[in-house]
Amino acid sequence: MSAGPVRGSLPPVRDLAHAVLMAVHEGRRLDRELDKALSLAHPRDRGLLAELVRGSLQWQARYDHLITRFSRRRGRPDPAVAAVLRLGLHQLCGLDGVPPHAALNETAELCRRRAGARSVGYVNGLMQNVRRDVFGEDPLSGRAAREARLRPWFDDLKPGSAAWQAAWHSHPLWLVERWRGRHGTAACDDLCAWNNESVPVTLHVRRAAELDATLARLAEAGFAAALHPRVPRAVVVGDGCDRAALTALLAGHPGLIVQDATVQEATTWLVGDAVEAAGPASRLVDLCAAPGGKTALLAGWWPGYLLAADSARERTQLLGDTLKRIEAGDVGVVLADGRQPALATGSLDVVLLDGPCSGTGVLRHHPEGRWRLREQHVTRSAGRLTELAVQAADLLRPGGCLLYATCSLEPEEDEAVVATLLAARADLEPWPDDEGRWQRLWLPHEARGDGFFAARLRRR
């Protein structure tokens, strides 16, 4: 990774951030590139580096609208200059602790090093105009105060329109239009706003008897944690926790799993009745199991034989590492493509299929994901999910259960796959719970967690 000149022996934090943004623009994985950059940064700069990168990506459309409003050039700036501007605007519009004059000076120097001296005047002029016209000379702190100044500069997009929501909440226009059509304008607004909220760490406590001890252990280690108000055995760790320290703590505590509360709730709803009906000889396969969160939740809870499968060797290794950490020695792990599973037809009591999807329910975790996603990806994913569901149904014995799930909010990947499967298989039927529900959608802003779809089917 090129990082420009160094101060002492370490690259400047903004150069590292720019290098990560350019790597992501070229198609490389954010987590991997950010980890590389963090390893090169001074420890005191690592929090700023992560915020610069993730914030610039998260608010990309908002900052691009400001660039359009204040630019004196026609057309979009080239990618290197655009990355410089987004980093500068995030310091000016999105962060406390960076004085405006420092944001402007650092952005101009970053432009000189990373995008060339010819663009410095353009970048500096645009940043100066934003500072003067939007914020004036008043020092501002707090997101609400900054947004109050920013919001009028988006009025040209007609507040409440799809274009306004896409720019203000920084989401792709095609996705906003989809959500408005399905959920309505107000719900779309709430959903997009939720995707820009910070993501606290949520833990699952594998043994209910250890809840109090877990809270005490976290408090002793310096973490502010509390029980989730709706999901049993879910513990929410306060925002801004030291994630490296938490990872180190988890390494020594196999009874704890990092897992969103919605996922915990949905998995319990999906599998709970099957667990009650199962015996020591019952067989369950988690067909697309990596990285292993749901398998880890099931380990020690499922009374019979538990098998976890995934199609990628790297992901299967990650799955094995997860199970090793929680000491789930009785779980089988197999490398297998769910569309051609190395399992006998009609041999399983339960198949859990949480298939690979567009991930539109978990965009708050992946600030770069919203910009890489295309509408055709949803259609392509729906076809793959249908193939997986057909194969999963073949694995069931008579009376066996197919538990289907995605972290997508899109009907093509959710209800449509289930409907296609039911239409093609006369031996499958909905399997309702005690309240008559057999498929459910958790919208993120309503569930206050990840978005999730789940359906319960049974072979006659």
Q: What is the model's pLDDT at position 89?
A: 98
Burial zone of 63 (CB within 10 Å; 0-12 exposed, 13-18 middle, 19+ buried): buried
Does position 3 have pLDDT exceeding 70, yes or no?
A: no
Q: What is the model's pLDDT at position 6?
A: 39
Burial zone of 191 (CB within 10 Å; 0-12 exposed, 13-18 middle, 19+ buried): buried
Instruction: Give the model confidence (pLDDT) of 24-49 as tens digits.
Output: 999 999 999 999 999 999 999 999 99
- pLDDT-derived band at 369 (thresholds 50, 70, 90) equals very high
Distance CA 355, CA 385 (A): 6
- pLDDT-derived band at 1 (thresholds 50, 70, 90) equals very low
Average pLDDT rounded to a whole number, residues 350-363: 96
Match 């929501």 to its residue by tokens: 165
Instruction: Give the model confidence (pLDDT) of 104-115 as tens digits.
Output: 999 999 999 999
Q: What is the model's pLDDT at position 8?
A: 46
* Cβ neighbours, 10 Å, residue 423: 9
Distance CA 165, CA 194 (A): 13
Distance CA 292, CA 311 (A): 13
- pLDDT-derived band at 130 (thresholds 50, 70, 90) equals very high
Q: Which residue has the higher pLDDT, 242 or 257?
A: 257
- Domains in the chain (CATH in brackets) are 13-157 (1.10.940.10), 158-196 (no CATH), 201-258 (3.30.70.1170), 265-459 (3.40.50.150)
Q: What is the model's pLDDT at position 9?
A: 57
Does position 169 have pLDDT exceeding 70, yes or no?
A: yes
Instruction: Give the model confidence (pLDDT) of 254-281 as tens digits.
Output: 889 999 999 999 999 999 999 999 999 9
Q: Cα 372 vs. chain centroid, distance in angstroms?
A: 13
Instruction: Give the model confidence (pLDDT) of 308-335 as tens digits.
Output: 988 888 888 888 888 888 888 788 888 8
Q: What is the model's pLDDT at position 4?
A: 42
Q: Which residue has the higher pLDDT, 74 or 149?
A: 149
Does position 344 have pLDDT exceeding 90, yes or no?
A: no
Instruction: Give the model confidence (pLDDT) of 61-93 as tens digits.
Output: 999 999 999 998 888 899 999 999 999 999 999
Q: What is the model's pLDDT at position 374?
A: 96
Does position 305 have pLDDT exceeding 50, yes or no?
A: yes
DSSP 3-state assignment of 348?
strand
Distance CA 328, CA 46 (A): 34
Q: Could you tell me the CA-to-CA distances from 288 to 18, 291, 311, 357, 403 in Å, in that order?
A: 35, 9, 7, 11, 12
Does position 442 have pLDDT exceeding 60, yes or no?
A: yes
Q: Which residue has the higher pLDDT, 143 or 329?
A: 143
Q: Catalytic site residues? A: 407
**pLDDT, averaged across the chain:** 92
Strands in 234-237's sheet, in edge-to-edge order, are 225-227, 234-237, 201-205, 256-258
Q: What is the model's pLDDT at position 19?
A: 98
Average pLDDT rounded to a whole number, residues 352-356: 94
DSSP 3-state assignment of 460?
coil
Q: What percent of the chain has pLDDT over 70?
A: 98
Does position 244 have pLDDT exceeding 90, yes or no?
A: no
- pLDDT-derived band at 11 (thresholds 50, 70, 90) equals confident
Average pLDDT rounded to a whole number, residues 409-427: 97
Does position 347 have pLDDT exceeding 80, yes or no?
A: yes
